[in-house]
Chains A and B, each alone.
Chain A
Amino acid sequence: MNNVATLESAHDPAVSESTGILRLQGLITGLQGFIWAAYKMMRFLLLFSRQGKLRLQKWFTPLTDREKKKVIRDMMMLVLARPPRSCNFLQWRDLKIVYKRYASLYFCAGLEDKDNELLALEVLHRYVELLDKYFGNVCELDIIFNFEKAYFILDEFLMGGEILETSKLAVGVSMEEADTLQETMEEYMSKPAY
């Protein structure tokens, strides 16, 4: 809409030059910050290594494969180039990118511009905690070799980009249930012991 606005500015009461209507202008411009975007927690979540290898990808909005590849490439380019101790937030197109590095892995989420970045950072942290609880001392290799488990945990935690379960206990329990009830002996053996 921006481009229309400039053209029309000649008629826009907010920028009209006559002095009499100043009072009105203030009212109109003063409230512009109040336009809210739709709250949708997350657009995507990516996990990739310092070497630029994708470890996990979750998309909460439908994209084509080409778009996905573009996003992944851009994210790695942007995030990996960040100097240490800089801000955990980035602007990319019209999205806010929130990323955090845990050991050799980068967790990277794309949010709406209006969303709360700190909160998203904590979502990432909570996910790491959950992984840690499940794998016990989680490391990149756990996620590489058991990435389907990492996906399962994520599905229990986030549903459609929104937090499903904020209780660490509950996610653990539901994972446990799913695992023990159904696992065969062979599966049980291959599960990480902790």
Chain B
Amino acid sequence: MSDVVEKTLTALPSLLSLDSHPGSAKLSSTSKLGNLIRGITELTSKHEEEKLIQHELLAIKEQVSSPNTTMMKELMVRSIYCEMLGYEASFSYIHAIKLAQQGTVLEKRVGYLAVSLFLNESHELLLLLVNTVLKDLQSTNLIEVCMALTVVSQMFPKDMIPAILPLVEEKLNHPKEIIRRKAVLALYKFYLIAPNQVQHIHNKFRKALCDKDPGVMTASLHIYLQMIQENPEAYKDLTPSFVTILKQVVGGKLPMDFNYHTVPAPWLQIQLLRILSLLGKNDQSTSEVMYEVLDESLQRAEMNHNITYAILYECVKCIYTIHPKSDLLEKAAKCIGNFVLSPKINLKYLGLKALTYVVQQDPKLALQHQMTIIECLDHPDLIIKRETLELLFRITNGQNVTVIVEKMLEFLCISEDDHTTIDLVGKVAELAEKYPLKYNEWFIETMNTVFSLGGDMMQPDIPNSFLKLLSEGFDSVEEDRKLRLFAVNSYIPLLRGEPGKLPQRFLQVISWVLGEYSHLREDLEPAEVLSLLAKLLDMKNSSSETKSWVLMAMTKLCKGGADASVTQEVSETYSSSLDTVLRQRAHELQYLSQDPELRARVLPRGAKPETLEVDSSLSFLDRFVSEALAAGAAPYKPPHQRQEELDQSKALSLEPYGLSLPISMSSCSITDRQSPTLLSMSSGLSGDTLKLDGIKRVWGREGYLAQREPVEEAAQVEVPSPIQSPGRQGEGDSLHSQTPTQTPTPEPEQEKQQLASSLFVGLASQSSVSLMGKSEPMPQRFRRKAKGQGLGSSFIANEQISSSLISPPSAVDNLLCNNLLDSNNASELAEQTSQLSQSLTTANGTCHAEAELTESDTKGCNPALRRDNCVVAAGPGPHNDPGRLTEVCLDSYLPAELSGLSHSEIAPLCANQSLNLSACHVQKEDSLILVVFIMNSSESAIQQIRLVSITVGQYSLTVKRPAVHVEVVGTVSYQLPAGTSQSLQFSYKVPLTSFIRPFVVSTEEYGTMWLSFSHDTKQNLTLINDNQEPLTATLNALKKKLQLHVVEVIGMEGIVACRLLQDLPCLMHCRVNAGWLAVWLRSPVPDLPDCLIYHCQRALQSL
């Protein structure tokens, strides 16, 4: 134990008598706060405390508003105390601000403190503080400046930052280091809440980094860490500096007073290690610079104190993050070993955390410590257990999944924390579904536990994907039947027991499964199932959603005859329900139970999920959208954008995971898009309904939905699986060998050994990362069969609404810019376009013309032609069609260096009486050149130039924000001989494909990049079916049309990469799936995947 604690402990007895300690004794006897505190300690009940505080608050209120009180500071302290006890003293807020404004320095300090405790960043009273802060920042009193900077870094209204920014910036040059340090941290705070406002002072950050005071330098690292995290590429040049600083710190070159328990500046060291790991990640050359200093840090840190462990932990993390070096890895692994084996529980915890972090690169490390991990699994402290499960989750493979899931479920039973439950339930469901070998009783039982434990808190997609899995089945009909039968068998006893205790979601799953598959169990009378289901309807706590699921199930089951009375009764009860959905279901039940023939047609037994043709472009909505936009409706915002806007307001999210995700439309509404009326219904339900995409859905709002393509489906089902029976055999065997824990063993040690062998099975034989948890052979029969197309594309449909890229180009333009120009009036047009370009630079600033105009030497260069260099903004605008261009062979005017390259057709842009503009674009390897031809067509001549003389301008274009088509808008200004200046505006449209270039990467690099990209989209494309391999044919076609780079094709999957000029990558993963090419695109650039998929679609359609 540290000496501080000891000192405190020894001091305690004397303190309790309140007189040996001069400070507290004095205060308590003289001040009112002392009286208050003492008064409270003497009270016996909460009620008395309440009374006392109310009394106190009244007294404070009275005194605080008297004009010349001298006690302000003391009063403030007392109201702070009351607030801390949980009583509101809002009347004092304004006085706190006043005190900060007017008081003496000491009073000011209390005032500022009170303000920072009472108010939060968004409080409106804070605006009143701005002036005070301004004044204090300019004060000559250092203390006042310090106080102002402190309060600024704690809470300051975002909008008011510009007002004080220059003053804070000025403080970076202050002679006192404490002021410089605080100023840097204040700027860091500004950077966090409003990064664009401090962009111009990045140079000054560099100066702070080089400050002679180590404290200021340390402070500046906070900003650098943040900036490097956002964009590591931009700061690679600083790596040697950071390495040097770390070297000096580790070498003890800092003044002694930065030491903490003899460790030199540990906080600084950790900050630097974090920065280095960000810089060295995936970058061999940068990593090489830091190997030496990392090695030194590892060696210097003696294992003696918490703080050195903290440094070591950070060091290990860094070593495993940057480009690997074997001997460092070895040392780091040893270090982790020391952590894990430590008797100190905190270190053990940290060791597990580090192990979880590195285990994906080095699964053998987990193997080394397996016995410790087993011990941790039984640790009495829940947090250690939890962390161990996290580790196990990462090393799960097909062989140990049963044991690991069992352990997780055990933990779930004792955990009380909602957040943990949601998280773990999600993980269990993920594992259970991930390993197809296990689709048997185990799977059903696991999912049952998940549903009962997860209750209604779990993520809604868990039951959803479970049902999907059940209904789609696998390649073997027999296996499907078995799995479904397991499910039915396990649900019947649950319903016979106490269904009232089951969560609503589980009941919904049960009713769906019983409705679909209870006929598989032959000894079960439908009448019995019906009565069990009817029981659910009568339960008090059944939600109306559950009830409608139950009614649906009953509709599927009722046969007329004996059980007619039950259904009759039920449908009568609910046909007058206030809930419209319930009423609808009740009516369906009523009609269908009376008409078995219709029922058999509507709800055919054992039907497969059908492939629905989906107009994923939603083109039928185009008119509706454009009308709505014209009527002033707000343009559609994609969900992630909306989420971002929402997120800005709350920093500490107190919502449980996953429940707040906005799902704009439930997927089933889109699957059934043939009936547009469905849309309104299901979007209303969306928030908490189970989504049923991919599941056979034969009933819509208005009744039966036509079954499509049943023949094709049937054909797919009967794909024979050659290795069926041996696979079955193998599964049985492996099951036996995998569950040794269930057989009782006499000695606990042996038990642990067995647990270890079952947990770590499959790790030993694998030496490389890539095989982690994935290597078990997968029998073909379990290959998941083709999804119903409706499922795949329903996601995409969602995405597509967001970007609206699939609709025809004109509609795209409309949607994108919310602009419905009438393209008939040409003269008005130009004007509107220019306005457009201004208004759109931020909203949809797509293009950026680089490179100063390079006037090429053409015959008769016109001196009077002054070109405006304003080709910046772009916004989709309507096309012009001047069509008056004299037939001149413009080709010959192409600049010499471009003439060898292929260029697009030279298109006329616009013209007026004196000028004719046309343009084309030339694709170079690393740029796209826009060539603008300016031709004098006037009879009267602009100065010397007679008739056709042509000036050519070249612009190199790059895209900043992708769109399907990039429109370049520009202005040509020129002077007529008369001296009047005129301008001519033009716009030129380039498809995005012109900016796409192949991107040559290796498969490894591809894998690395894939994960780091956040924007993605998915779509099913048509395959080209000619004689050869369809995948290769399709990819080649795409490659030819869009200049993509095919990285690798493995079996039925292929990976493709391309980049948008200059170097914005976009990765594409393709898989052949049921006659479609399922494409998944990812990119760091928003909208790029969407735009690209549009072009892919177009490219394939045009073939």
Contact = CB atoms under 8 A, between A and B. Distances in A.
B414 interface: no
Contacts of B121: 62
B67 interface: no
B561 interface: no
B345 A13 contact: no
Interface stretch (B302-310, B873-881, B891-899): B302-310
Given A6-B430, A7-B465, A54-B84, A17 B784 contact: yes
Interface stretch (B218-226, B709-717, B733-741, B945-953): B218-226
A185 interface: no
B1007 A27 contact: yes
Interface residues of B, number: 156
A50 interface: no
Contacts of B401: none
A62 B156 CA distance: 11
A17 B153 contact: no
A119 B315 CA distance: 13
Given A3-B661, A9-B433, A28 B23 contact: no
Contacts of A38: 226, 229
Contact of A67 (B143, B349, B652): B652
B924 interface: no
Given A19-B778, A182-B106, A142 B23 contact: yes
B154 interface: yes
Contacts of B229: 36, 38-39
A181 to B, nearest CB: 6
Interface in B450-467: 459-462, 464-465
Contact of B26 (A70, A92, A139, A189): A189
A13 B1082 CA distance: 12
Interface stretch (B259-267, B290-298, B1089-1097): B259-267
Q: Could you say which interface size class chain A belongs to?
A: 35 or more
Nearest to A121: B306
Contact of B9 (A20, A69, A103): A103
Nearest to A40: B192
B1080 A116 contact: no
A91 B461 CA distance: 25
Nearest to B5: A102
Interface string B808-830: 00000000000000000000000
B11 A139 contact: yes
Contacts of A132: 4, 7-8
Contact of B420 (A61, A91, A137, A178): A91
B153 A160 contact: yes
A90 B426 CA distance: 21
Given A103-B8, A125-B2, A159-B182, A166 B258 contact: yes
Interface string A64-95: 11010110000000000001011111111110
A149 to B, nearest CB: 9
B8 A137 contact: yes
Interface in B108-166: 109-110, 113, 117, 120-122, 142-143, 146, 150, 153-155
Given A2-B459, A30-B770, A24 B436 contact: no
A187 to B, nearest CB: 7
B651 A62 contact: yes
Contact of A9 (B345, B465, B770): B465
A69 B87 CA distance: 11
B120 A117 contact: no
Interface string A132-175: 10010111011011111001100100011011111111100010
B188 A118 contact: no
A137 B11 contact: yes
Interface string B655-669: 011100100000000
A69 B185 CA distance: 28
Contacts of A88: 346
A119 B268 CA distance: 11
A48 B8 CA distance: 16
Contacts of B657: 2, 94
A157 to B, nearest CB: 11
Contacts of B1051: 18-21
Contacts of A55: 84
Interface stretch (B28-36, B905-913, B966-974): B28-36
Contact of B267 (A69, A117, A119): A119
Nearest to A15: B434
A164 B185 contact: yes
B915 interface: no
Contacts of A139: 8, 11-12, 15, 21
B608 to A, nearest CB: 16
Nearest to A167: B257
B1053 interface: yes
A164 B219 contact: yes
Contacts of A137: 7-8, 11
Interface string B358-373: 1011000000000000
B310 A119 contact: yes
A165 B181 contact: yes
Most B C-beta atoms less than 10 A away, residue of A118, A148, A192: A118
Given A38-B229, A102-B5, A169-B257, A135 B23 contact: yes
A178 B313 contact: no
B386 A91 contact: yes
Nearest to B691: A7
Contacts of A39: 225-226, 229, 274
B87 to A, nearest CB: 11
Contact of B349 (A26, A28, A117): A117
B1055 interface: yes
B930 interface: no
A13 to B, nearest CB: 5
Given A30-B772, A159-B182, A117 B346 contact: yes
B104 interface: yes
Contacts of B260: 122, 126, 166, 168
29 contacts: A3-B462, A9-B430, A11-B1078, A13-B1053, A16-B1053, A18-B1052, A24-B1006, A27-B1003, A38-B226, A39-B226, A54-B84, A54-B85, A63-B652, A65-B88, A85-B345, A93-B656, A102-B4, A102-B5, A117-B353, A119-B267, A119-B314, A144-B37, A145-B33, A148-B80, A160-B188, A166-B267, A167-B257, A178-B146, A184-B106
Give the 5 A-B CB pairs with smallest separation, nearest first: A26-B770, A192-B23, A27-B1007, A20-B1051, A3-B459
Given A30-B361, A137-B11, 8 more contacts: A13-B1080, A22-B771, A24-B1050, A87-B345, A119-B266, A122-B260, A163-B267, A178-B143
